[in-house]
Structure 1
Amino acid sequence: MSDKYGVGHDSYCCPDSTVLRNKLDIRDDITLSEAERQLSAIAADNVEFNPPPYSLAYLQNIHRALFSDLYEWAGELRTVGISKQTTRFCQPEYMEKEAGKIFKTMAAANWFEGMERADLIIAVAEAYSDLNVVHPFREGNGRTQRILFEHLIMNAGFEVSWWGIEEDEWIYANIAAYNCNLGPMEQVFEKCIGQPIQP
């Protein structure tokens, strides 16, 4: 038996189970997913915007803020290999190096400041897709990464909202990007990135 990441029993799971160990001692996936959704949604309201520079450590702090009520390992980089269907995420020993390259590239682009909306959509889609392949946490990567990209996009001077994106659309865009087709991810950010923020 394996979980959604293709991992069987590992040190993150309850004994003889694929359910992640958690502070509420929840032992079934459906209840845990709902608790995770509710607690992270409440916690997300308390994650404050900060301007760049951004880094893997910044991403870890977001994860810790979102999931520390539920997981002891919130904010810690995962130590096991994970995949979703045919998507194999970065191995733990390479995550810091690969994430470092992505943040360095964004820093060299001045965190996308001053870009026109059309250029921002392309740049954000590529950076988001690259970081998604790193997938540094055992669980909660998508929610954590979206907050980071909210900060990036707002810092670049644009409104952002995820409400118009269906889960299937996200999954399809991520799989396509993993296979070097950024078109669907650009379409996602075309919907998400709004108007310039008025001073």
Structure 2
Amino acid sequence: MDKYGSGQDPYCYEGTSTLRNLLDIHDDKTLEAAERELTLLAAEAIQFSPPPYDLAYLQELHRQLFGDLYPWAGQIRTIDISKGETRFCNVQRVEPETHKLFSHLAQNDDFTNLKRNRLVTAIAELYGDLNVIHPFREGNGRAQRLLFEHIVINCGYEISWDGIDQQEWLDANIAAYYCDYGPMTAVFERSIGQPLDEVIT
């Protein structure tokens, strides 16, 4: 699990880096395993929905994924966070910056009119920029990937994360943080598949 921030984190049990949780688990590895299992089950139950794709939609996905584990699931974080040398968006700018990105998506018809090559690029850039914001205290990656599955499906394409290893994914996100979208574009080039109408027929 990622460990964020410094000093006493109000989201964690006092004197620890373990996130407070509804199961009252105090061991990081046990919590990580519980989180993995619960979110896998939750993800299977979440149905695709059409636009609008906005912050409220992302919050609802996060709530459904993590609601059985964290009392703050679906809520915007209240503290600044970082991971290693990466500092994510200032907490006061999370909502306005997120709204900017989703407004761009809506103004461009949710990318539904883009040819596949341009769609791959646009999706990669949007993913990288939204990841820099990191609106939640934990679980940003899982909620965001699910959101982007819905965006891509709405554009009429298959999407699968199979074959994308953890290090490649991490490197792509770090590169995108510095506005180098090449590695993230390569990830989505492999993740976005055939048009759904071709798959169905």
Band of TM-score, shorter chain: over 0.9
TM-score relative to the length of structure 1: 0.96
Q: Aligned partners of 1:163, 1:131: CA distance in 2, in Å? A: 22
Q: In the TM superposition, what is the alpha-carbon distance from 1:80 to its structure 2 partner?
A: 0.8
State the Cα distance separating 1:7 from its structure 2 match. Answer: 3.3
For residue 125 of structure 2, what is the aligned residue in structure 1? 126
Instruction: Check conservation: 1:6, 1:85, Cα contact below 8 A.
Output: no
One-letter amino acid matched to 2:112: E
Q: Is 1:39 the equivalent of 2:38?
A: yes
Task: Give the 5 Å matches for 1:9-24.
Answer: 9-24=8-23
Structure 1 residues without counterparts, runs of 5 or longer: none
RMSD: 1.0
Using structure 2 for the length normalisation, give the TM-score. 0.95
State the shift of 1:88 in Å.
0.8
1:5–1:83: 8 Å Cα contact kept in structure 2? yes
The aligned counterpart of 1:185 is 184
- State whether residues 81 and 92 of structure 1, in contact with CA within 8 Å, keep that contact through their aligned partners in structure 2: yes
Paired residue secondary structure (1:48): coil
Unaligned runs of 5+ in 2: none
Farther-moved stretch of structure 1 (110-119 vs 122-131): 110-119
Cα offsets for 1:79-133 (capped at 9, x unmatched): 0111111111001111000000000001111001021111110000000011001
The 3-state SS of whatever aligns with 1:45 is: helix
Pairing 1:150–2:113 present: no
SS in 1 for 2:45: coil
1:157-182 CA-to-partner distances (Å, cap 9, x unmatched) read: 00000121111111100000111110
User: Aligned pair count?
Assistant: 197
In structure 2, the residue matched to 1:28 is 27
How far residue 9 of structure 1 moved from its aligned partner, in angstroms, is: 2.1
Matching of residue 62 in structure 1 with residue 61 in structure 2:
yes
Point out the more displaced range, 24-33 or 153-162: 24-33
Question: Contact between 1:150 and 1:160, CA under 8 Å: does it hold in 2?
Answer: yes
Percent of pairs identical after alignment? Answer: 56
Describe the SS at the equivalent of 1:188.
Answer: helix
Q: Map of 1:82-101 to 2, 5 A cutoff?
A: 82-101=81-100
Give the SS at the match of 1:129. Answer: helix
Q: Deviations over 1:23-67 (max 9, x none)?
A: 111111111111111100100011111111111010000000000
For 1:103, the equivalent position in structure 2 comes to 102
